Amino acid sequence: MNATGRSEDRGPGFAEAIAHPNIALAKYWGKRDDGDRLPAVPSLSVTLAGMLTRTRVRFDAALDAAELVIGGAQASVGATARVAALLDRVRSASGRLERARVESANDFPTASGLASSASAFAALAAAATAAAGLSWSAARVSDLARRSSVSAARSVLGGYVELPAGRAGDLELPALPVASSDHLDLRIVVAVTREGPKDIGSTEGMLHTTRTSPFYAAWVAHAPSLCARVRDAVLARDLEALGAAAEESALCMHASAIAAAPGLIYWTGATVEAIAEVRRLRARGLAAWATIDAGPHVKVITTPADEDAVTRAIAGVPGVLRTIATRPGPGATVVAGAPAER
């Protein structure tokens, strides 16, 4: 797709938006059993520059049902239904009756096991509301994105972003800005440890943890203090405190999943080797802390000054296939067809 909409694509009912993945420094893992996709714990992430999703939405009276094309190929029935649910919310909020065609593409390899639903649903929420003529605040777009993918609520905003835990009776829960992307100039080196098949999805994995792990209650009790430590460290620009709290958050999240029955182990040998290398780097005085999501890849938090040395060391760990350099970046942006353009 082009960087901006072609002129014939503009006009009522069309918009294009871009959004980026985010990495949680304080992890979300587990939903409340009441409410509509409400997280059980607060999380705090950094939205990343570099990798991006670009999504176009066109409402079209000629369509009988929502259509979804991802990376040029017709999407599965399940993926299309998940997108249609978001579009239905936009249609009922805007009074629009037409169905929509959605085209989405990532500029990072979708088969890498890194593709997150966060950038996809953040871009879709931004594009769909703009295409429907809704001039919604970022908070409202974030709440809409959360109903499709909790982590997507955070990718609507740029920089450092917090999504509070849901509370009983919450009807809306948007992510909140904590600090801009230039407030704390860290780097995150992604160590890709597998290009292969998908893991057990986050939605399924956290539900299994919620239902069967004896450590889940401890995780829910402890996560708010980890998130508060991450928030305080970001605001104080204290990377040491941030790295320590982020690494603890990831390990506590995985401990709850590993203790499920049967245990949910997202790690491989390469994951453990990369964590060990991060700790060796730290012992040598370099800035390096590990965080891991629902997969085997290790993301290393570091400084601009130490990024090259950390990247070289992590790239040399057996089982690390390649590295991706990332840094704090912007939130979801409508790049064509915003209501203001009409």
Binding site for ligand 2P0 (CB under 6 A): 24, 27-29, 43, 117, 149-151, 202-203, 293-294
Nearer residue to ligand 2P0 within complex by CB, 128 or 257:
257
Query: Considering only CA atoms, which of 30, 32, 45 is closest in space to residue 170?
Result: 32
Q: How far is the CB of 75 from ligand 2P0 (least distance, A)?
A: 17
Looking at the Cβ atoms of 32 and 99, the one nearer to ligand 2P0 is 32
Question: Considering the complex, what minimum distance in angstroms separates the CB of residue 255 from ligand 2P0?
Answer: 13
Give the number of other CB atoms < 10 A from CB of residue 114: 20
Q: Shortest Cβ distance from residue 29 to ligand 2P0 (Å)?
A: 6
CB of 289 to ligand 2P0, least distance (A): 16
- For ligand 2P0, the closer CB: 149 or 181: 149
User: Does residue 164 have a cis bond before it (omega within 30 degrees)?
Assistant: no
Name which of 40 and 334 has its Cβ closer to ligand 2P0.
40
Question: Least distance in Å: CB of 46 to ligand 2P0?
Answer: 11
**Six-digit token string for 8:** 């014939």
CB-nearer residue toward ligand 2P0: 100 or 294: 294
**CB of 128 or CB of 173, closer to ligand 2P0:** 173
- Looking up tokens 């000054």 gives 305
Q: Phi and psi at residue 143, in whole multiples of 5°?
A: -60, -40
| Beta-carbon count within 10 A of 67 CB | 18
In the complex, what is the shortest distance from the CB of residue 239 to ligand 2P0, in angstroms, rounded to a whole number?
Answer: 20
We find the least distance from the C-beta atom of residue 24 to ligand 2P0, in angstroms, to be: 3
Provide, rounded to whole angstroms, the least separation between the CB of residue 275 and ligand 2P0: 16
Three-state SS string over the chain comes to: CCCCCCHHHCCCCEEEEEECCEEEEECCCCECCCCCCCECCCEEEEEEECCCEEEEEEEECCCCCCEEEECCEECCHHHHHHHHHHHHHHHHHHCCCCEEEEEEEECCCHHHCCCCHHHHHHHHHHHHHHHCCCCCCHHHHHHHHHCCCCCHHHHCCCCEEEECCCCCCCCCCCCEEEECCCCCCCEEEEEECCCCCCCCCHHHHHHHHHHHCCCHHHHHHHHHHHHHHHHHHHHCCCHHHHHHHHHHHHHHHHHHHHCCCCCCCCCCHHHHHHHHHHHHHHHCCCCCEEECCCCCCEEEEECCCCHHHHHHHHHCCCCCCEEEEEEECCCCEEEECCHHHC
CB of 207 to ligand 2P0, least distance (A): 8
**By C-beta, is 114 or 338 nearer to ligand 2P0?**
114
Of 28 and 136, the one with the shorter C-beta distance to ligand 2P0 is 28
Instruction: Work out the angle at residue 238's Cα, subtended by the Cα atoms of residues 235 and 244, and round it to the nearest 5 degrees.
Output: 110
Closest CB to ligand 2P0 among 1 and 258?
A: 258
